[in-house]
Amino acid sequence: MYTNPENSIVGFEVQSMSIPAQTTPRGPLVAIGGAEDKTSESEILRRVLLLSKKEAPIVGVITTASSVPDDVFGAYREVFSNLGASEVLDIRIRERSDAASDQFVEMIRNSDIVFISGGDQMRLTYVLGGSPAMETIRAGHQSGTVIAGTSAGAACQSQTMVYGGPADDSLRKGAVQMTAGFGLVEGIIIDTHFLERGRFSRLMEVGATNPEYLGVGLGEDAAVLFEGDVMRAFGPGHVIIVDSSQISGSNVSDLSDGEAVTVHNIIMHALVDGYGFNLTNRRVLGPEELRAEGLEHWIANS
């Protein structure tokens, strides 16, 4: 039985049991750390298109999080068109009323790939949360639609998401700000721009107060594919796993907000393209093991 991650926001009592990380079992889910290459090899975005298993997929781009949606959509329209998309749809949802629009809901429904751009993840959850558009995204994911997001569009995928906290001094009780995300993946906290912005302490603080969560820190131009209980790293960058399920001690329960946290025995892994992680038993998977997990088609064409 799963504990509801919404009842485990930072500050709740530390529990000894971990939540098994899990994704909705059907459609592929991709989280990208931001600043993915769009001009040369476009390796990550090319492989996102391959996941649809269609020769010329329709890509719907949601720019809700961005303050410059024209520029963002233009960049993705160009790169996805060059990579072979038959159509790139501008799903320009700016307000909650837009998220109830039959036009935008139908565009999401017609997309083989739904791509959520970066920006402000709080705009994503505020505008899309509880809307017909979000219900359509979830329904599509369950029926096989590829859902992909970068930066804010990746961070919002988890049941509980990070939306703030200083990178340089987050190992203090209550420093990391979290709220409810879209719930496409459970038992995981995703942080983006992870190495480039020095965000290790953010996931360490999360782990100290919520050891049941698996932290996934995505570097720029790095991505993970979630399929069932397997997470596969791909792209040129690094994926950092922060596993706090085995911590042996912390002072967090004795602290007031803002005081420095100590935490012992956090396990970290650095993954690169071709490696993965089993979310059930929390074990690193090598290339041969990934092939045994049924990703041969995607790997062969990557």
> Which residues are the active-site residues?
151, 193, 220
In whole angstroms, what separates CA 111 from the centre of its chain? Answer: 19
Coil/strand/helix, residue 124: helix
If one counts every other C-beta atom within 10 angstroms of the C-beta of residue 98, the result is 17
For 149, phi then psi, to 5°, come to -150, 150
Coil/strand/helix, residue 69: helix
Q: Which secondary-structure segment (H or E) carries 200?
A: helix 200-209
Residue 24 neighbours by CB under 8 Å, 6+ apart: 138, 141, 142, 184, 185
User: Quick one: tokens of 145?
Assistant: 């639609």
d(Cα 21, Cα 18) in Å, to the nearest integer?
Answer: 9
Secondary structure of 83-143 in HEC code, one letter for each residue: HCCCEEEEECCCCCCHHHCHHHHHHHHHCCEEEECCCCHHHHHHHHCCCHHHHHHHHHHHH
